Amino acid sequence: MDETEKKILKISVRNLVELVLRSGDLDNRRTGGAEKTAMQEGSRIHRKIQRRMGADYRAEVVLKHEVEVDQFQILVEGRADGIIEKPEGVTIDEIKGMYMDLSYLSEPIEVHLAQAMCYGYFYCYDHGLNGAVMQMTYCNIETEEIRRFQVEKSFEELESWFQSVIHEYIKWARYLYNHGIRRDESIKELSFPYPYRKGQKELVVAVYRSIARKRNLFIQAPTGIGKTLSTVYPAIKAIGEGLGDKLFYLTAKTITRGVAEEAFDILREQGLYLNSVTLTAKEKLCFLEKPECNPDACPYAKGHFDRVGDAVYDIIHKEAGITRETVLRYAEEYQVCPFEFCLDISNWVDSIICDYNYVFDPNIRLKRYFSEGVAGDYLFLTDEAHNLVPRAREMYSATVYKEDFLLIKKILKPMSPKLVRMLERCNKELLEMKRECEEFQILEDIRFFMTSIMTLFGEMEKFMDTGEEFKDRDLVLDFYFNLRDLLNIYDRVDENYRIYTELLPDGRFMLRLFCVNPAKNLKECLDKGNSTVFFSATLLPVRYYKELLSGDQEEYAVYAQSPFDQEKRLLLVASDVSSRYTRRNRREYQKIVDYMRRIVSAHKGNYMVFLPSYQYLKEVEAILDETEGLEEEFTYLSQATHMSEQEREEFLEEFSEDRKDSFVALCVMGGVFSEGIDLKEGRLIGAIIVGTGLPMVCTEQEILKGYFDSREQNGFDYAYQYPGMNKVMQAAGRVIRTVRDEGVIALLDERFFKPDYQALFPREWDGYYEVQLKNVDEVVQSFWDGRK
């Protein structure tokens, strides 16, 4: 590096003050009142207050300040909510919208005042002023009551204070500087760790180009091409070229997080100097049986903030791939909350491996990276991206049940007559909706109901903020959070939503704010970064995923070639089977059993049979139980409902057993065993897939269908056919995992011959055999004979 060219390290004002000034206990017993600024509503109230402030008030003023240290510069930047310029002096305004009774505040919260003091110092420094007034404006979102605190500081006081903050930060900045130089040098020397498979190099190039152009990319890539390494490697090369500063590897399932960890480890073995952390859910990290984050219940919460800085500094200097086990070990040593510790580690690593929630979910996403006004040079690698559509719909939807209002009213009756009256009012409004609803009803306007909810929520905030213990407090707290979610989601409702009520089969009455098309909400998060790569083995048709994940049909897309020898795979399509609801009878179930017996008897090995539902599975299982002599042909085991993690592992271990006969696993299509499992090296040689995977007809699917029909798109395709075929392709993808695997995929449903279904077949399914029960055993036997 040139002597005159200094490396710039960026940090936001908020992250700086939180890092340096936090101390004391971790305590979440209160609902968050003072500490938890409201989310979308907080942004709205900011704008409302700013508009009221008159001509002297400048809103959202970008301020930054550079501090030179050794060979690098620290750039601290942020946006002041408001600056008031008058002849008598300058006032820096920091606005915080909150759901709380502001009478609880006797003084400004330290980290909020510290943010204002940073802006005050920057402004005085830039304009040669002798001092400024720091004003904290707290606003109750429900009542719009405002409370202000003012603190006046001279320039000398602000400068001295800011220098003390920077002094505490310098050791962290020095770490980032030295780490960054060593990382970038290692990336320059980094080569792809293996010889490229067919289609893999083109994939690597496509990912790098998309990142370089700050564009998003959709990748349809067959199993076995090495999607993880093919996306991680070019993303890391891009970081080395300054095209990104933090890589997020996003997954839907725990098992794929392990695949990502392995990819980083492989590259480290090639000389890569880059650290990563895997974020794990609080319940899976907590040392207690049930997470209770307060100093009375948990010794790790007591004094957590006094020790966590040292713990983070230690782990980032000693560990490269920071997994759940590593976090727990250091958390135990330093006596800190492992979950909060893990989140703090994420500030200092190059890559974060985590669930989709941490980036996209408005309640869970990491505010340090994704809150309003915060963005970065992030790169997002979204694994198994087909899962993001249903997950995102859930994240951006909200539901309340009428019966919950009655339950909470009963609990609170002895304690708060005011809350009881508000709960009664909400219940009465829901009762009126219920009377007008036969099965389900789409509503156009629920403004009056939401006004009642906001009033109730404001009162509950005060009640819960007292921190008093009482029977069933957990139920009340869950209800409180449900109301918060409803308010936050309501603020998002637009043409991409449908609001509906429904009488459920169990008798409950539900109001749901249903996010039909999540693209706009997802884009809000994606725009925080530079580039996103969506990849999956089943991203067809790509226009469907572009519509629902980004809303932009002009996004780049790549169809990667399959690296596998097609002769090692037999694809069968049966013309004499139907799984339609009208055809579900004993005769059809018997036909499925006959197909299973004929396919399995042709070659010894392990097979999976994917059935449309648990009910269908039970019908097939009943026929198997009655079949004489079956035990001489194969052993079978059925997937159970609500299996624990241990039960799932035991189920998968059956595929490693050494047997004399064949093994058949009966599974539900779209369930836990139809994707994300890796039975390679011959542990699975066949998948028999019954039906086209269509979701059951229900209110939600019908609303989806109606929504897309209203937009002149084929609603049936969007609501049923595309998600169904995705399940089929995922189930089929269990069979061929490596170049050494071989096996049979049997699609049992006459609908697979229809042109609209065949148009959704992946390219590698271009050759298949049409079979019927009378000839399937011959075709399968011929395939296996050819493999000898």
Any idea what DSSP says for residue 608?
Answer: E
Whole-number Å distance between alpha carbons of 136 and 145: 14
pLDDT of residue 51: 67
**750, 681: one domain:** yes
CA neighbor of 481 nearest in space, from 26, 95, 39: 39
The contacts of residue 55 (CB under 8 Å, 6+ apart) are none
**528, 467: one domain:** no
Whole-number Å distance between alpha carbons of 727 and 671: 9
- Per-residue pLDDT tens over the stretch 250-282: 999 877 898 999 999 999 999 999 999 999 999
Whole-number Å distance between alpha carbons of 177 and 173: 6
Q: Residues 112, 96: contact at Cβ < 8 Å? A: yes
| CATH code: domain of residue 60 | 3.90.320
Q: Supply the pTM of this predicted model.
A: 0.90
> Would you state the structure tokens that stand for residue 613, as one six-digit string?
């539902």
Q: Which domain holds residue 444?
A: 398-515
Q: In what order do the strands lie in the sheet with 556-559?
A: 321-322, 276-278, 351-355, 246-251, 378-382, 531-536, 217-220, 556-559
218 phi and psi angles, rounded to 5 deg = -110, 125
Looking up tokens 């499925």 gives 592
- Per-residue pLDDT tens over the stretch 631-682: 889 999 999 999 988 999 999 999 999 998 999 999 999 999 998 888 888 8
Question: Is 283 exposed, middle or buried (CB count within 10 Å of its CB: 0-12, 13-18, 19+)?
Answer: exposed
**378, 406: one domain:** no
CA neighbor of 91 nearest in space, from 119, 126, 65: 119
Count other C-beta atoms under 10 Å from residue 4's C-beta.
Answer: 5
Characterize the bridge pairing of strands 378-382 and 246-251: parallel
Any idea what DSSP says for residue 86?
Answer: E
Does residue 344 fall inside a structural domain?
no
Total of domains in the chain: 4
Of the three residues 563, 588, 619, the one that is the final residue of a domain is 563
**602, 637: one domain:** yes
Does residue 297 fall inside a structural domain?
no
How confident is residue 310, by pLDDT bands cut at 50, 70 and 90? Answer: very high
The average pLDDT across 337-354 equals: 96
Q: What are the DSSP calls for 363-394, one per residue?
A: TTS-HHHHSTT---SEEEEETTGGGHHHHHHH
- Per-residue pLDDT tens over the stretch 54-101: 677 888 899 999 999 888 999 999 989 899 998 889 999 998 877 667
Q: What are the DSSP calls for 483-511, one per residue?
A: HHHHHHHHTT-STTEEEEEEE-TTS-EEE
Higher pLDDT, 381 or 283: 381
**676, 752: one domain:** yes
158 phi and psi angles, rounded to 5 deg = -65, -40
| CATH code: domain of residue 200 | 3.40.50.300
> Would you state the structure tokens that stand for residue 567, as one six-digit string?
């002769």
Looking up tokens 């020397």 gives 189
Does residue 39 fall inside a structural domain?
yes
**92, 229: one domain:** no
How confident is residue 3, by pLDDT bands cut at 50, 70 and 90? Answer: very low
**602, 496: one domain:** no
- Per-residue pLDDT tens over the stretch 522-578: 999 999 999 999 999 999 999 999 999 999 999 999 999 888 888 999 999 999 999
- Per-residue pLDDT tens over the stretch 229-240: 999 999 999 999
Looking up tokens 């340090």 gives 368
Whole-number Å distance between alpha carbons of 754 and 746: 16
CA neighbor of 355 nearest in space, from 343, 345, 365, 363: 365
User: Helices in 128-244 by DSSP H: which ranges?
Assistant: 155-188, 200-212, 227-240
**509, 531: one domain:** no
**559, 570: one domain:** no
How confident is residue 41, by pLDDT bands cut at 50, 70 and 90? Answer: very low
49 phi and psi angles, rounded to 5 deg = -65, -45
Whole-number Å distance between alpha carbons of 345 and 704: 40
Average pLDDT, the chain: 92
Whole-number Å distance between alpha carbons of 464 and 471: 13
**473, 588: one domain:** no
**769, 752: one domain:** yes
Reduce the DSSP state of residue 581 to 3 states and report it: helix
